[in-house]
Amino acid sequence: MSAGRLVVCPTPIGNLEDVTLRVLAALREADVVACEDTRRTRILLDRYGVTAKLVAYHEHNERARAAELVSRMGDGAVVALVSDAGMPLVSDPGFVLVQSCVAAGLAVEVLPGPSAALTALVASGLPADRWRFAGFLPRKRGALEEALGAPETLVAFESPRRVPATLRVLAELDPDRPVAVCRELTKVHEEVVRGTASELADRYAGEAPRGEVVLVVGPAAEAQGDLDAAVDALRGLVDAGAKPRPAAAAVAQLTGLPANRLYRALQEP
């Protein structure tokens, strides 16, 4: 294995004091820091007196830049990967680079640190024993309804201007569903508003929240019960010799639950 390696470094989601000592050390020691926006990363580095060579690594140049960085690591370079905020790869660029490093036999070290999804989940006060991260919520009504129908706690990013419409859809599906709108986490104007889908749909109907938003939606007890029963039926069909996907489609027709969700639940241990 080459001495070169990739160090994945999470950065603050708002408050710059949330950066870890290990991340600062990695940024100081790296031969090059790959970042979404060099200007934004430079603000963090200047705050802590880190002088590092920066290269842009974002969704528009990801594949070309990944090949270049892998070549440098193959020659022994240490590359630190950061996104604008939080953990790279989590709704941020980085997957192509990590995948390329693994394929090339290069070491990948991941440092722990800030995450908007985890911060919002804990702050919401909603069940955290079983949850799903959906990234950015889909815009099409059907796909949005399926995402919001998750039987476990759902954590998702949402554009502030779309929050009223999303809450309205959720309120139509399940007005009593518990929700938390987590806004500007770790920043000066941090706010966590908790309530039912109906209450929050009314609250934001006239004015969308400002800043970066994470929605946390609690599980629906009935949906969980329906899903468990449907998966049990699906598992019985598969154990009897049916192929999983056609069986999932058949159970979906009988229960009204999405076939893809049934199939995924069947694969879970």
What are the pLDDT digits (tens) for 99-114? 999 999 999 999 999 9
Cα separation, 148 vs 142, in Å, equals: 10
User: In the block, which residue shows the tokens 């069947």?
Assistant: 266
204, 183 Cβ separation under 8 angstroms? no
CA dihedral 69, 74, 77, 80 (to 10 degrees): 50
Chain centroid to CA 77: how far? Answer: 29
Which pLDDT does position 116 carry in this prediction? 96
265, 229 Cβ separation under 8 angstroms? no
Cα separation, 149 vs 208, in Å, equals: 23
25 contact partners, CB below 8 Å, separation of at least 6:
none
Residue 87 carries which side chain, given as an amino acid letter? Answer: M
Per-residue pLDDT of the chain (269 residues; tens, 9 = 90+): 458 999 999 999 999 999 999 999 999 999 999 999 999 999 999 999 999 999 999 989 999 999 999 999 999 999 999 999 999 999 999 999 999 999 999 999 999 999 999 999 999 999 998 899 999 999 999 899 889 988 899 999 999 999 999 999 999 989 999 999 999 999 999 999 999 999 999 999 989 999 999 999 998 755 555 778 889 999 999 999 999 999 999 998 888 777 877 888 888 76
Residue 192, helix vs strand vs coil: strand
In sign, the C-alpha dihedral spanning 150, 126, 115, 170 is positive
Which pLDDT does position 229 carry in this prediction? 86
133, 86 Cβ separation under 8 angstroms? no
91 contact partners, CB below 8 Å, separation of at least 6:
135, 136, 157
Which pLDDT does position 1 carry in this prediction? 45
Which pLDDT does position 256 carry in this prediction? 72
Pinpoint the alpha helices (H) of the chain: 21-29, 38-47, 62-74, 95-104, 116-124, 141-148, 163-173, 197-204, 221-239, 244-255, 259-267
Which pLDDT does position 225 carry in this prediction? 57
